[in-house]
Structure 1
């Protein structure tokens, strides 16, 4: 199993609680080394590549169409 480092651009965060909410949801999908910066609107995390990591992130309930948080995958290493 290989971990991939993923960088995100995240929209809709306004406070530390927003970052905490997103971090908790990313933990639920198995992400590690999660850093969410609400002031800059960015995030980074590591996720194993057993499934498409992009798909797992963007299909997370925290980024669903009903949520006010939106994310774009900026980089995958």
Structure 2
């Protein structure tokens, strides 16, 4: 095989696409949307009930649990 000067070779379309040669402004990278966290109510408990329990202090919840056991 003879050594060829890369500047003089006519590169294929596939090579140019794979190595991102040519028009850059036409092909811009697409941005993906970030998933947003969303909270919904569960059957038997409204969202307000769930948030109230979550925001309760651990000691209060522990005391409630003890009361429920007795």
Q: Give the TM-score range, shorter chain.
A: under 0.3
Which structure has the larger Rg over C-alpha atoms?
2
TM-score (norm 1): 0.19
**Which structure's residues are more often helix, by fraction?**
2
TM-score, scaled to structure 2: 0.20
